[in-house]
Structure 1
Amino acid sequence: MEVASKKPSLPFLLMTLITLSADILVAQAPTPRRQVNGTLGGSVLLSVVPSPGRKVRTVEWSFGAGTGDTIQLAEFTRAGFERPNPKDRFQQRLEMHNATSLKIKALQLGDSGVYEARIKTTLATVEDQAFLLTVYEPVATPQIQSQLLASTPEGCNVTLQCRGSGKGNVSIFWGKGNPAQQLDPGRYQLSPDGRTLQLSLQPSSLNTTYTCTVSNPVDQKIISFDLQSICLSGGADASFSKPGYIVLTFFLLVLTLGTAVWCWRMNNKKSADPAATPTGPMEESLAEPQYADILRSPPEGNDQALRHLENNMERSPQKEHLITTVYDQIRRTPENTSEEVT
């Protein structure tokens, strides 16, 4: 009697398919990455942690910068530290800290990427661990720029801007006091990027120091600002705003133009005034004509008279000018008349 073969049931096929799919998904699942942060120019340590009860035989390190290429960095064995290519971009900056840790010195921004470690144990098992390294620049020292909006006996309105906080994943936190505490709700407005803080404070709150804390995952800088230096001084220390420069420039321009127009009008007025024209010398020259004696040249052939005249002129260097005026003649006439009467 022939025994009929049993066909696999549908539920069994489904369970087999689900099991195989789960194995495929587990095999293709990416290795979890541990986040590690480093500072530009500093150093970082990548340490693998094997499973409990397993001893590490070798560790193979590789690096991928996300460009598709993977660099074989080093292999840790019981014999020591081996570098497949000592002339790669890391050169002498890699060290074996212990049997399970890789040290990277003099970090560069290009060192950011994924570092994978393949761990082979004495039980012939293989484990993969990965590290995501991000290298950050140190935070630049920030500065606070202040601008006084209004200062009255009722309060002070001022704007504080935290500048020079650097690039990258930077966070800005505003606080008051030392240590820094949360700001009073309803007394401030914050810009969307968190850099500009506008305060509206009462006189009782002016004796307060405000701080700007700038940080990234590897560094932090803090700067403080005393509110009294701007509110109680009436803004003497505040930076002059751009609208203020525009108003000042316009005022100076109007003042310059007004001065030029006034000078031009005064010059025109003086030139049009007849009394300002000097006419004295001309009138004197017209009212008092001058006369001169004309020396006639001697007749031709009278050389003796000519020589006599030249000798007289040489002997009398202090003689008065030959040109006389009518007044000189009049002044001399009475003298002559008196002599004749006598």
Structure 2
Amino acid sequence: MSGGPLSCFSKQGILLLSILHYGVGISLFNKAVGDSVELPSGLEREDFKSMEWKYKKMVIAEFDGNVSLPRSQFEGRLEMNDSNFSLIIRELTLKDSGEFLVSAASNRGQSPTKTIHLQVHEPVSKVAIQKEIKLLANQSCSVWLLCNVSVCSNLSYTWERGNETYRDDQQIHFSLSPADGDISVTCTASNSVSEKSASATVKCSNTTPEYNTWMKWYRIYIVVALGVAVVLILTVAVAVYYCRGRCNTADLTDDTRGKDTRSNSQVMSIYETLEDLAVPILNKPQTLYDKITFGRQPEDPSSSYQEVL
């Protein structure tokens, strides 16, 4: 089985890591969504004439003779104790996580700023074990187990198999033989504010089929996603090719129409020219003078010589 035996990793160890991470003098509070928290200021009213709480560099509560609560994301959920200046926040949300700074001034001067870190967690509400068992050629079984949890962040997992306890990742893998019989496995998922457990029984037999479990469905999802991607790519390619073809056809049609228009214009021009040339043919000159002044209306001859001509 993957993973090693569970070491002495307790809440004291988590607290030590928190101190190393945030530093000495910084208080750490872990709360669940929907909880309330009271952040202590460490001050006494008679010793200080003014003080303030800050969250992300913004004043959210202050005292200068009277308690004042400026508008903030905690509006309607915030309260400050006017005797010891502790800060009470109700109905916590994940967005309330962060550092709170408290500072005060007395007759002796400014007091050191105190830092309090609040971490709000989503509680673990559901745990389930999904399994895949494959029968191998040597008649043993390969077992894959996945601890499926409703929360995905800041979790630790503990696996128990028989009399052994292991700390591992979200999934584990081990081998079984038919001689091992029924094996009980328990997964416990936990964070700083809650924990849940789930159990399952696994068995290896000569007739063990490949289970239709999360691993198989995962492969199916991958294949389906790839198929959809290929279909989309082909559809886009065909659409682009079709549009280009339509555009080219439209261009050829416009060119053909343009040529026809120019041809018709040329024919009409030639026809009109011939028609214009045909007019003088119908009005042939009658006299020598008409040859010079074409188009003159014929007059009655004034002399026999002109008449002869």
Describe the shift of the 1:203–1:153 C-alpha distance in structure 2 as closer, same or farther (beyond 3 A): farther
In the TM superposition, 1:152-231 aligns within 5 A as 155-177=140-162, 181-182=165-166, 194-203=169-178, 205-228=180-203, 231=204
1:75 aligned residue? 62
User: Are 1:64 and 2:81 matched, yes or no?
Assistant: no
User: Are 1:112 and 2:85 matched, yes or no?
Assistant: no
Asked whether the 8 Å contact 1:176–1:208 carries over to 2, the reply is: yes
Compute the displacement of 1:177 (Å): 4.2
2:78 aligned residue? 94
Aligned equivalents of 2:85 and 2:25: distance in 1?
Answer: 18
Aligned equivalents of 1:37 and 1:116: distance in 2?
Answer: 17
Asked whether the 8 Å contact 2:53–2:62 carries over to 1, the reply is: no
Query: Of the two, which has the highest radius of gyration?
Result: 1
In the TM superposition, 1:1-342 aligns within 5 A as 32-49=25-42, 56-57=47-48, 60-65=51-56, 70-76=57-63, 82-85=67-70, 87-96=71-80, 99-121=84-106, 123-124=108-109, 126-150=111-135, 155-177=140-162, 181-182=165-166, 194-203=169-178, 205-228=180-203, 231=204, 234-235=207-208, 238-239=211-212, 242=216
Describe the shift of the 1:221–1:234 C-alpha distance in structure 2 as closer, same or farther (beyond 3 A): farther
Aligned equivalents of 1:158 and 1:168: distance in 2?
Answer: 26
Compute the displacement of 1:224 (Å): 1.0
Compute the displacement of 1:130 (Å): 0.7
Asked whether the 8 Å contact 1:114–1:133 carries over to 2, the reply is: yes
Aligned equivalents of 1:121 and 1:201: distance in 2?
Answer: 70
- Secondary structure in structure 2 of the residue aligned to 1:214: strand
Asked whether the 8 Å contact 1:55–1:121 carries over to 2, the reply is: no
Describe the shift of the 1:59–1:143 C-alpha distance in structure 2 as closer, same or farther (beyond 3 A): farther
Describe the shift of the 1:203–1:131 C-alpha distance in structure 2 as closer, same or farther (beyond 3 A): same
Structure 1 stretches of 5 or more lacking a match?
1-29, 184-189, 247-342
Asked whether the 8 Å contact 2:62–2:68 carries over to 1, the reply is: yes
- Secondary structure in structure 1 of the residue aligned to 2:152: coil
2:249 aligned residue? none
Compute the displacement of 1:57 (Å): 2.7
Structure 2 stretches of 5 or more lacking a match?
1-22, 221-309
Q: TM-score, normalised by structure 1?
A: 0.47
Asked whether the 8 Å contact 1:55–1:122 carries over to 2, the reply is: no
- Secondary structure in structure 1 of the residue aligned to 2:165: coil
Aligned equivalents of 1:207 and 1:121: distance in 2?
Answer: 70
RMSD over aligned Cα atoms: 3.8
**2:30 is aligned with what amino acid?**
N
Asked whether the 8 Å contact 2:135–2:209 carries over to 1, the reply is: no
Provide Cα deviations, 1:56-108, integer angstroms capped at 9, x if missing partner.
4356333333xxxx22222357x7x61242x4321121123561421111112
Asked whether the 8 Å contact 1:59–1:117 carries over to 2, the reply is: no
Describe the shift of the 1:84–1:102 C-alpha distance in structure 2 as closer, same or farther (beyond 3 A): closer
Asked whether the 8 Å contact 1:174–1:210 carries over to 2, the reply is: yes
Q: Which has the higher contact order (CA 8 A, sep 6+)?
A: 2
Describe the shift of the 1:59–1:208 C-alpha distance in structure 2 as closer, same or farther (beyond 3 A): farther
Aligned equivalents of 1:31 and 1:182: distance in 2?
Answer: 32
Compute the displacement of 1:215 (Å): 1.9
Describe the shift of the 1:175–1:72 C-alpha distance in structure 2 as closer, same or farther (beyond 3 A): same
